[in-house]
Amino acid sequence: MALFDVYPLYDVEPVKAKGLYVYDKYKKKYLDLYGGHAVISIGHGHPTYKKALRQQLNRIGFYSNAIQNPLQHQLADEIIAQSCCENYQLFLCSTGAEANENALKLASFETGKSRVIAFKNAFHGRTSATVAATDNPNINAPLNAQHQVSFLEFNDLESLEATLKKGDVCAVIFEAIQGVGGLDEPTESFVVEMEKLCEKYGACLIADEVQSGFGRTGTFFAYQKYPIRPHVISMAKGMGNGFPIGGVLVRPDIKARYGMLGTTFGGNHLACRASLAVLEVLKKSQLQPHAKDMGDYFVENAKKIDEVKKIKGRGLMLGLEFDHEVGEIRKKLIYDHHIFTGGSSNKNLLRILPPLTIEKKHFDVFFDALKKCLT
């Protein structure tokens, strides 16, 4: 039977992975600077992770959300301890889109309103409300057009206030560093004012940390560079190091009621155990400060390459912008030098989203290869 053909694929078939490397069926070794799209946070096949999942599978792998599951409480406590998001409440699901869909739904329940403010070039997922809040007509079906969404530019406070003033906005959703859109960031003063305006006009502020969360940018969440306390924080990718898990942190002033949100798979035993193992490694190996240090090392080296017009991002959510498209460079990197990298909707941007366990020697290999690709 044919697969429903929606993905343009590279001709590589990984069969094994360890640390920073992925191995194909011919035993060829690839350096993974893409982390399966910012998912592999603690490295492929980390021993702590494998042991935790194996042990959990031998006890109980799954049961639905109809029973007591102390692992969910343990996970909530550990996320709060590491993120310092004091008193937030945790709801677990399985993907980034599901986390954002629940975040938007919560905002609508909370405010009784339905318009969403999102930003140009945002990517929030492919479910009903999240894709409507994603600035890409190619992935929006007529069904999704029923949502009321206003797309604004980052840093345009005037339009933000004018839209909020109309009184029908339930949520402002933003990425502190845009992932798929190409690593653009709002200014600190805009973010701080945006929070104030949300409070003034009774809208919820949602920080989409699906890609940037769990230590990737050097702080636990990327928005934490700013002194704000969003109503809802969504997370997913790095949370499970490949095990599908997502979640939302909900500010304590938003009250839960039975049936408000729900899912069959979210927060199951294996998923919680995977995320607890990620958090254990993040803490023990001090991967948050390490991400910052490695990001600084990357930037230092990127500055030496004349062809690089702009260096974007922070920590290990990074991009190199050229004055030409990077498709050919990515192909050369993967087929000639065996290095995985990422693209974005900005065709001139090469994205780097490696496991947080990366070391300087891996970046040295990358820069040598990049220089060869550019000559």
Ligand X SMILES: Cc1ncc(COP(=O)(O)O)c(C=O)c1O
Q: Return residues touching ligand X (CB under 6 A).
A: 95-97, 100, 123-125, 175, 179-180, 208, 210-211, 236
Nearer to ligand X, 20 or 104 (CB): 104
Query: In whole angstroms, how close is the CB of 338 to ligand X at the nearest point?
Result: 24
CA angle 85, 285, 265 (to 5 degrees): 55
Nearer to ligand X, 69 or 234 (CB): 234
In angstroms, what CA-CA distances link 99 with 95, 182, 275, 334, 368? 6, 21, 15, 32, 39
Nearer to ligand X, 114 or 136 (CB): 136
Query: In whole angstroms, how close is the CB of 339 to ligand X at the nearest point?
Result: 21
Find all residues with CB under 8 Å of 370, minimum gap 6, and list them: 305, 329, 333
Contact 220, 288 (CB under 8 A): yes
Query: In whole angstroms, how close is the CB of 38 to ligand X at the nearest point?
Result: 7
Handedness of CA 183, 187, 193, 195 (dihedral sign): positive
Find all residues with CB under 8 Å of 284, minimum gap 6, and list them: 48
Nearer to ligand X, 150 or 344 (CB): 344
Query: In whole angstroms, how close is the CB of 372 to ligand X at the nearest point?
Result: 30
Nearer to ligand X, 97 or 132 (CB): 97
Nearer to ligand X, 97 or 281 (CB): 97
Quote the CA–CA distance of 224 and 216 in Å, as a whole number. 12
Find all residues with CB under 8 Å of 260, minimum gap 6, and list them: 106, 109
Query: In whole angstroms, how close is the CB of 93 to ligand X at the nearest point?
Result: 10
> Which residue is closest to ligand X by CB?
96
**DSSP string covering 106-155, please?**
HHHHHHS--EEEEETT----SSHHHHHTSS-GGG--GGGGGS-EEEE-TT
Find all residues with CB under 8 Å of 218, minimum gap 6, and list them: 288, 289, 291, 292, 295, 314, 315, 316
Nearer to ligand X, 225 or 283 (CB): 225
Handedness of CA 81, 86, 91, 94 (dihedral sign): negative
Query: In whole angstroms, how close is the CB of 273 to ligand X at the nearest point?
Result: 19
With CA atoms as reference, report the closest residue to 99 among 247, 262, 266, 242. Answer: 247
Nearer to ligand X, 179 or 186 (CB): 179
Nearer to ligand X, 91 or 123 (CB): 123
Inter-axis angle of helices 70-83 and 269-284, nearest 10: 30
Quote the CA–CA distance of 278 and 187 in Å, as a whole number. 30
Query: In whole angstroms, how close is the CB of 95 to ligand X at the nearest point?
Result: 4
Query: In whole angstroms, how close is the CB of 40 to ligand X at the nearest point?
Result: 14
Quote the CA–CA distance of 212 and 216 in Å, as a whole number. 6
Query: In whole angstroms, how close is the CB of 92 to ligand X at the nearest point?
Result: 14
